[in-house]
Chain A
Amino acid sequence: MENKIFRINRISKSFGSENSDSKVEVIKEISMEILEKEFVVILGNSGCGKSTFLKILGGILPASSGNIEFNGKDYGQEIPRDVLKKFGFVFQNNNLLQWRTTEGNLRFMLEMMHLKGEQWTARIDEMLDIVGLKAYKKEYPHELSGGMRQRVGIARALVHNPDVLILDQPLGALDAITRKMLSYEILNIWKKTQKTVVMVTNNVDEALLLANRIFVLSPVLPTTISHEIQVNIPITARDENIYENQRFNELREMINDIVRSTI
Chain B
Amino acid sequence: MNTTTAVQKKRKPESIGSGYLNILAPLIVLVILIAALEFFTRAFGISRFVLPPPTDIIAQTISNFPEIWPHFLFTLKIVAIGFMISVPLGMLIAALFSQYEILVKAISPVIIWLVITPMITLIPLIMLWLGTDPNLRVIVVIIQATPIITLNTLNGFTNIEGEKLELAKSVGASKRQTFIKIIFMNAMPQVFTGIKLGCIFSTIGAISADFVAGTVGLGSRIVQYTKYNSIELSYGCIIIIALIGICLFSIVELIEKRIVLWKN
Residues in chain A within 8 A of chain B (CB atoms): 55, 58-60, 81-85, 87, 89, 91, 93, 95, 97-100, 108-109, 111-113, 130-136, 140-142, 148, 181, 184-185, 188, 239-240
Q: For the complex, give the distance between the alpha carbons of A134 and B263 in Å.
A: 22
When distances are taken between beta carbons in the complex, the residues of chain B under 8 Å from A82 are 172
A-B contact pairs, 22 of them (CB 8 A): A83-B172, A84-B171, A84-B172, A87-B170, A89-B170, A91-B163, A91-B166, A95-B166, A97-B164, A98-B263, A99-B185, A100-B262, A109-B171, A111-B181, A112-B172, A112-B181, A130-B4, A132-B7, A135-B9, A181-B5, A184-B1, A184-B3
Q: For the complex, give the distance between the alpha carbons of A108 and B260 in Å.
A: 17
For chain A, what secondary structure do more than half of its interface residues adopt (helix, strand, loop), or is it mixed? helix
User: What 0/1 readout, one digit per residue, does chain B (112-156) give for beta carbons within 8 Å of chain A?
Assistant: 000000000000000000000000000000000000000000000
CB–CB B9/A81 < 8 A: no
Q: For the complex, give the distance between the alpha carbons of A131 and B4 in Å.
A: 7
Q: For the complex, give the distance between the alpha carbons of A83 and B172 in Å.
A: 8
Top 7 A-B pairs ranked by shortest CB distance?
Answer: A81-B172, A84-B172, A89-B170, A184-B3, A142-B263, A135-B9, A112-B171
CB–CB A134/B3 < 8 A: no
CB–CB A99/B7 < 8 A: no
Q: For the complex, give the distance between the alpha carbons of A89 and B167 in Å.
A: 8
User: What 0/1 readout, one digit per residue, does chain B (174-190) give for beta carbons within 8 Å of chain A?
Assistant: 10010001100110100
Q: Which of A113, A131, A142, A181 contacts B262 (CB 8 A)?
A: A142
- B48 interface contact, C-beta 8 A: no
Q: How many residues of B are counted as interface, with CB atoms below 8 angstroms from the partner's CB atoms?
A: 31
**Other A-B pairs beyond A60-B166, A136-B7, A142-B264, 9, CB < 8 Å:** A55-B166, A60-B169, A95-B166, A98-B262, A99-B261, A130-B4, A134-B6, A188-B2, A240-B1
- B212 interface contact, C-beta 8 A: no
CB–CB B8/A135 < 8 A: yes
Tell me whether A140 and B261 are in contact in the complex, defined as CB-CB below 8 angstroms, given that A99-B185, A135-B8, A185-B4 are known contacts: yes
When distances are taken between beta carbons in the complex, the residues of chain A under 8 Å from B3 are 181, 184-185, 188
Could you tell me the distance in whole angstroms from the C-beta of A248 to the nearest C-beta in chain B? Answer: 17
- B244 interface contact, C-beta 8 A: no
Could you tell me the distance in whole angstroms from the C-beta of A139 to the nearest C-beta in chain B? Answer: 8
Residues in chain B within 8 A of chain A (CB atoms): 1-9, 163-164, 166-174, 177, 181-182, 185-186, 188, 260-264
CB–CB B1/A95 < 8 A: no
Q: For the complex, give the distance between the alpha carbons of A84 and B263 in Å.
A: 30
When distances are taken between beta carbons in the complex, the residues of chain B under 8 Å from A108 are 171, 181
Could you tell me the distance in whole angstroms from the C-beta of B137 to the nearest C-beta in chain A? Answer: 37
When distances are taken between beta carbons in the complex, the residues of chain B under 8 Å from A85 are 171-172
CB–CB A91/B167 < 8 A: yes
Q: For the complex, give the distance between the alpha carbons of A109 and B185 in Å.
A: 15
When distances are taken between beta carbons in the complex, the residues of chain A under 8 Å from B177 are 112
A90 closest partner in B (C-beta): B170
CB–CB A135/B181 < 8 A: no
Q: Which of B7, B164, B173 contacts A135 (CB 8 A)?
A: B7
A147 closest partner in B (C-beta): B7
When distances are taken between beta carbons in the complex, the residues of chain B under 8 Å from A188 are 1-4
CB–CB B163/A95 < 8 A: yes
CB–CB B6/A112 < 8 A: no
Q: Which of A84, A111, A140, A240 contacts B170 (CB 8 A)?
A: A84
CB–CB B6/A132 < 8 A: yes
When distances are taken between beta carbons in the complex, the residues of chain B under 8 Å from A81 are 172-174
Could you tell me the distance in whole angstroms from the C-beta of B226 to the nearest C-beta in chain A? Answer: 48
When distances are taken between beta carbons in the complex, the residues of chain A under 8 Å from B172 are 59, 81-85, 112-113
When distances are taken between beta carbons in the complex, the residues of chain B under 8 Å from A181 are 3, 5
When distances are taken between beta carbons in the complex, the residues of chain B under 8 Å from A185 are 3-4
A141 closest partner in B (C-beta): B262
When distances are taken between beta carbons in the complex, the residues of chain A under 8 Å from B168 are 112
When distances are taken between beta carbons in the complex, the residues of chain B under 8 Å from A141 are 262
Q: For the complex, give the distance between the alpha carbons of A133 and B263 in Å.
A: 20
Q: For the complex, give the distance between the alpha carbons of A130 and B260 in Å.
A: 29
CB–CB B167/A95 < 8 A: yes
CB–CB A135/B6 < 8 A: yes
Q: For the complex, give the distance between the alpha carbons of A93 and B167 in Å.
A: 12
Could you tell me the distance in whole angstroms from the C-beta of A177 to the nearest C-beta in chain B? Answer: 12
B182 closest partner in A (C-beta): A97
